[in-house]
Structure 1
């Protein structure tokens, strides 16, 4: 699909003209891909059409490794989402499912009160990156001392692209990103895509989930989410890197909101507890339709 002079990759599962709101999956990162959210397509068996897409810069969409920080903005990704909705003809009847960074992006979109938005799911997403960083420190301090010392040493030296830093990242990821062993194929696909082209992730986020030094480090949506006017479902995991403190502003500020915590999950309840996840999401969709 054309987006400005670039292209956005997308895929549709189900019938966009079914009369039910179309569930649009907004993936995380920024700089990840749709792959790890593929099991949302199972909603189509219940009649809910599902759209996946890769945000510009990654996956099947146009890669732009030479673009600088001035190009990779929140507004760029909001415009891309608007373009997708319009081009598919679904802007009058849709639900956004935003996961991690995608949750903030979807919330920002929803705060503009688009007429066709029927519901919002904010999954495993902080309300701001300052909150995210504050809580990341809490979680990092719980790691074995030698692991955190290795991380701090490489971050101070600017050698976060080293194998030793990567190895030291993994205890955090295995506790707070995905607790499954081995990691599911869909998640591995997205994980490797970030490293195949880290342009967006490193520019906007940083070298790891818990060391956010990119352009988003001071950004959040706490200033606008009170304007969200659709029923909103919050999802988080008991071991999530998006801790309760990072999610709380959504619960406090969005007028019509509910919050489901998945007790056996971290950052990927849709993969870690897929049956309960599908039950919760299906129930929410039935309520808002």
Structure 2
């Protein structure tokens, strides 16, 4: 589907209640290949700048208001009046912002290893500097440098235990990116410019599930903050997993998601 000149790729799998799935930074919809959800229609979206979706050279389409508007038009065009959202990392931040923007349409939110944005202005400014540095490094050094740099972050240390073929697929998805698209994503919707949604969380009307790995200390703490802000949020910690829970522990992740969706269907 093409929206305001930007082509979006989305794959629809299965039948039943709709779950729109949003991947993380430098990933694409292929990251969900091991997520098996019975009696569910999964809409696997390649976010702008990723996968088979458009990779505009201009920065403006990567801003959050444009991303949310395009995503809303995409889902509406697929004929989904009511649906749930699943987002991992960057995709989770976008899902959270989407839920705040379109609360009457979103039945439930599933946030995997996701933040709500940086509230402290000094920290936001520092993150903008870091994102700008990384964006320029990607442009200067290229995708192979980025793939090595990104996989070496402590956040992804637990992925070294994954089977070789899965690690190869992760690397291939990272290598499939374009430098300008990753740079624009960092500058247009990275954490340094992403709005802090902390104040919106208590008022969100839909059920929310927050999933994180036992070994992901940063997002374990963020998960607790979500619960403090909204006691109705359910938090699930999956043992033996790090940041990317759905790849590291797919069976446990799928079971938790299935139970949540089942409860949404039968309140």
- Per the TM superposition, whether the score is higher than 0.5 is yes
> Quick one: distance in 2 between partners of 1:205 and 1:241?
23
Hey, what's the Cα distance between the residues in 2 that align with 1:112 and 1:33?
23
Q: Deviations over 1:182-220 (max 9, x none)?
A: 361543343223xx31334323437xxxxxx98531533
TM-superposed CA distance for 1:241, in Å, is: 6.7
Contact 1:95 1:118 in 2 (8 A): yes
Match of 1:32 in 2: 27
Contact 2:14 2:40 (8 Å CA) reproduced: yes
Counterparts of 1:161-176 in structure 2 under 5 Å?
161=141, 170=152, 172=154, 174-175=156-157
Stretch moving more, 79-88 or 168-177: 168-177
Give the Cα separation in 2 of the matches to 1:130 and 1:199. 28
Bigger radius of gyration among the two: 1
Match of 1:54 in 2: 46
Pick the structure with more helix per residue: 2
Residues 147 and 171 in structure 2, CA contact (< 8 A), matched pair in contact too: no
Gaps of 5+ in 2: 124-129
Could you tell me how far 1:79 is from its partner in structure 2?
Answer: 1.0
Partner SS for 1:224: helix
Q: Return 5+ residue gaps in structure 1 as ranges.
A: 135-151, 207-212
**TM-score, with length taken from structure 1:** 0.75
Cross-structure match for 1:254: 230
Quick one: structure 1 residues 223 and 178, their matched pair in 2 at CA, closer, same or farther if it must change by over 3 Å? farther
2:173 corresponding residue in structure 1? 190
| Mapping of residues 200-211 of structure 1, within 5 Å | 200-205=181-186
Q: How far apart are 1:252 and its partner, in Å? A: 1.9
Q: Deviations over 1:127-155 (max 9, x none)?
A: 22468x97xxxxxxxxxxxxxxxxx9xx7
Distance 1:123 1:281 in 2: 10
How far did 1:97 drift? 0.3
Q: CA deviation at 1:112?
A: 2.9
Report Cα offsets for 1:20-61 as digits up to 9, x if no partner. Answer: x201101111x5311112223x21xx2111110111222111
From the superposition, tell whether residues 116 and 214 of structure 1 become closer, same or farther in structure 2 (CA, over 3 Å).
Answer: closer
Q: How much has 1:113 moved relative to structure 2? A: 4.6
CA RMSD of superposed structures (Å): 3.1
Structure 2 vs 1, CA of residues 11 and 204 (structure 1 numbering), >3 Å: closer, same or farther? closer
Q: Find out whether 1:22 has 2:3 as its counterpart.
A: no
Does 1:232 find its partner at 2:195?
Answer: no
Q: Confirm whether residue 245 of structure 1 aligns to residue 225 of structure 2.
A: no
Q: Deviations over 1:149-180 (max 9, x none)?
A: xxx9xx79x75738888656516254256642
Q: Aligned partners of 2:160 and 2:115: how far apart in 1? A: 17
1:67 to 41, 44, 58: 58
Deviation digits for residues 213-267 of structure 1 (CA, Å, limit 9, x no counterpart): 9853153321322221111100001222742233333222235211011121111
Change (3 A) 1:168 1:122: closer
Give the alignment's TM-score, normalised by structure 2. Answer: 0.80
CA contact (8 A) 1:34 1:190 kept: no
